[in-house]
Amino acid sequence: MLELRQGGQLLGLVPTTASLMKRGLAEHSSILYEGELPKMTPRSQFLKVLRWWLCSLVFCAASWLLLMRPLPTLSAAPSLFSPGNTTIMTVLPPHPTTLADAFKLGGLHQQLHQYSASQQVHKGDKAPDFILSEAATLVGRTHGGKPLTISEFDGMLQEIVRIESRVSIVTSVRGFFTFINTMWLLAIVGISVSIGPSLYHVLKPVRDILQRVCRWMADHIIVPIARRLHEWGVFEMIAYYFCWLLVAQGYRMTEADAGIMVTVSGSLVVIPAFGYSTLLWAGRHGKSEDLKTLMPLWLAVCWMPSAIHFQSTLLGYMVVLALFSALGFGVTCHGLCYLVGFKSESAMQRVCASSLALVIGFTALRANYHVPATWLEPFLSPISIVGNIMLFLSLLIMSSRYYFPHRGRDATSYLHRNLAMMSALASAQFFGHTLGLQGMANTSTTFTVLYVLEKYGEWHVEAKLNGWLLMLGFSLVAYRCALWLHLHPEFVASIFTDH
């Protein structure tokens, strides 16, 4: 309705819909509205927000259902394509993938020859089935692979020597599939980023063609139905359902690496699906700053069951990075300028406190051997590396004399911040070495060096010594550190491992 007023006096109400205008002309020969005005009740914001997050929460619950009840869930969900019956291990010469498997195979090989000697079994005779069956399991021939023979078992040592010399077909094939998986991951990211704009670009000319070829059908059937399906959230549900089917399809895959990549596909493609839900239902809530916290937190909860199921460090890193993104750490690109760090001072403090709680909780769980290792293993390396880096980086900034909120004027606060930094470094050294978390220990060693350099730099500046001497001192230290790291590469490797 439009109100017509003169001097504060209401002259009449003019409706803005054609149906009310026609009714007024038919009943009163005037387009002015003379009926009772409807009472408008504001819609509940809770229900609106709940509808916005409905599909997202269902997707999250279904992802956890795959972990807790995999067989009933997979049997009820349709398969997108055949998961395959062979793995990479079945088409390659038999070989162990870990030192533990190699040790076990050596014991089985000795048992085989002891049995053969005692029974006087010749080379072409059939070996005990239980020995070959257990050896086949260790080399991954459990999914449609041909059975292991005595000659293959005897030739496994030569194959291991060729693998270590980088001349084996195993090295070439695995290197090729590593390249394929890298391209696959880049393709997944590309699809997640470009699927929305591409559909918009492709469907626009299709709609124009439909209007030109069959305008009536497009205007009265196709477009209205598509609009209703869009407004009622049918397309939204289909998008989430397809993403979940991709995640479930990864659980069906025989080859573990392929299963991880298929699951990662569904886990990343759900991001534009969430963007579609936001555009459809969020309204003004879609511009809220809380969304930058809630969305990464939701992604972390959705990705966690897949990381546990596949024991995937890749998904573990995705979960941990999503958690820290929700807390305020991020990476943004502005042309040729990349910004890596904390979004604000409060975000840095949140990341510091959360990292401390995360590292302490994880260390306590690691010390408690009653906790299932399968729930911790995927996050061992991410938390040991990313969690400690976030903690020490934020503490290193706040321990500086030139930390912005204080400028070093409050001596008590400055002392407390430095005591917190030194306590964290010492604790990480102790627990890292005693619990076997070498990455934690070496990360704290690295930040100890940075902390000492920071304190020396503060003393140098406060003493008003020559700036060239400070640059020379730092350069000499950097030169010596670089030389030491090249002479001890195992130190760098241990930072990026989970032990």
**How far apart (Å, rounded) are the C-alpha atoms in residues 129 and 149?**
10
**How far apart (Å, rounded) are the C-alpha atoms in residues 169 and 151?**
18
Quick one: pLDDT band at residue 375, thresholds 50, 70, 90? confident
Angle at 420 between CA 417 and CA 425, to 5 degrees: 130
**Averaged pLDDT, 188-198:** 78
Residue 3 pairs in a beta bridge with 13
**How far apart (Å, rounded) are the C-alpha atoms in residues 294 and 289?**
9
- 128 near 115, Cβ under 8 Å? yes
**How far apart (Å, rounded) are the C-alpha atoms in residues 157 and 155?**
6
**Residue extents of the structural domains in the chain:** 1-38, 94-167
**What is the per-residue pLDDT for 298?**
93
Q: How many angstroms separate the most distant Cα atoms in the chain? A: 117
**What is the per-residue pLDDT for 370?**
54
Distance of CA 393 to the CA centre of its chain: 22
Does residue 388 register a pLDDT over 90? no
- 277 near 55, Cβ under 8 Å? yes
Does residue 280 register a pLDDT over 90? no
**What is the per-residue pLDDT for 124?**
47
Does residue 495 register a pLDDT over 60? no
**What is the per-residue pLDDT for 408?**
47
Close Cβ partners of 159 (under 8 Å, ≥ 6 residues apart): 93, 94, 95, 168, 170
Q: Which long-range contacts (CB under 8 A, 24 or more apart) does 95-98 make?
A: 95/139, 95/156, 95/159, 95/160, 95/163, 95/168, 95/170, 96/138, 96/139, 96/156, 96/160, 97/140
**How far apart (Å, rounded) are the C-alpha atoms in residues 390 and 386?**
6
How high does pLDDT run on average in the chain? 78
Residue 3: helix, strand or coil by DSSP? strand
**How far apart (Å, rounded) are the C-alpha atoms in residues 445 and 386?**
15
The single-letter code of the amino acid at 116 is S
**What is the per-residue pLDDT for 373?**
67
Q: Which of 285-289, 424-428, 447-451 has the lowest mean pLDDT?
A: 285-289
**What is the per-residue pLDDT for 261?**
86
Q: Residues 394, 400, 405, 406: is their CA dihedral positive or negative?
A: positive
Does residue 305 register a pLDDT over 50? yes
**How far apart (Å, rounded) are the C-alpha atoms in residues 4 and 10?**
6
Q: Which of 216-230, 269-283, 329-343, 439-453 has the lowest mean pLDDT?
A: 216-230
Percent of the chain past pLDDT 90, that is, above it, reads 8
Of all helices (H) and strands (E), which one includes residue 13? Answer: strand 9-14
CA 204 to each of CA 238, 422, 466: distance values in angstroms, whole numbers, following the listed order: 21, 60, 66
Give rounded-to-5 percent helix, strand, coil for the chain: 75, 5, 20
- 319 near 86, Cβ under 8 Å? no
Cβ atoms within 10 A of the Cβ of 432, count?
A: 22
**How far apart (Å, rounded) are the C-alpha atoms in residues 447 and 392?**
7
**What is the per-residue pLDDT for 387?**
85
pLDDT digits (tens, 9 = 90+) for 121-178: 444 445 566 677 777 777 776 654 556 777 777 777 777 777 666 666 666 776 777 7
pLDDT digits (tens, 9 = 90+) for 92-115: 667 676 777 777 777 777 777 776
Look up tokens 């300028």; give the residue.
337
Tokens representing 178 are: 């590593």
Close Cβ partners of 231 (under 8 Å, ≥ 6 residues apart): 280
Between residues 468 and 125, the one the model is more confident about:
468
Look up tokens 């090295």; give the residue.
171
**How far apart (Å, rounded) are the C-alpha atoms in residues 48 and 272?**
20
Tokens representing 236 are: 């939204």
Does residue 301 register a pLDDT over 90? yes
**Averaged pLDDT, 449-469:** 78
**What is the per-residue pLDDT for 213?**
60
Distance of CA 401 to the CA centre of its chain: 36
**What is the per-residue pLDDT for 241?**
93
DSSP 115-165: HHHHHT--TTSPPPHHHHHHHHHHTT--SSPPPP-HHHHHTHHHHHHHHHT
Close Cβ partners of 99 (under 8 Å, ≥ 6 residues apart): none
DSSP 351-392: HHHHHHHHHHHHHHHHH-TTS-HHHHGGGHHHIIIIIHHHHH
Between residues 354 and 171, the one the model is more confident about:
354
Cβ-in-10-Å burial (0-12, 13-18, 19+) of 94 comes to buried
Quick one: pLDDT band at residue 429, thresholds 50, 70, 90? confident
Does residue 440 register a pLDDT over 90? no
**How far apart (Å, rounded) are the C-alpha atoms in residues 456 and 465?**
11
